[in-house]
Amino acid sequence: MNFKNFREYLAWLYYQYLLITGIYVLEPWEKSIFNSILFSVIAMVIYTSYVFVPIHVRLALEFFSGIFSSQPESTMALMN
């Protein structure tokens, strides 16, 4: 892909973003505030997903493996 075509494609994507969100009617300072808030929220969601989702997945796997598996070895050792 040519660099000029890539720049045109990015410009087209940005234009689509402006049209879909409706911020093409805003003043430049309003656009910057809107974009700042939007990208801050997106960054916080990505960070939260990166930090907390693996922990919750591990806890869920431990919970369900405890439910669907047989008794843990430590309990079996106590019964002997």
What's the chain's average pLDDT? 86
Q: Which residue has the higher pLDDT, 39 or 70?
A: 39
The pLDDT of residue 28 is above 60: yes
Contact 24, 18 (CB under 8 A): yes
Residue 4 has pLDDT above 60, yes or no: yes
Mean pLDDT calculated for residue range 39-49: 95
User: Per-residue pLDDT averaged across 39-52, rounded?
Assistant: 94
- Closest C-alpha to 18, from 44, 38, 41: 38
How confident is residue 23, by pLDDT bands cut at 50, 70 and 90? very high
Using one digit for the tens of pLDDT, what is the confidence trace for 65-79?
877 776 555 555 555
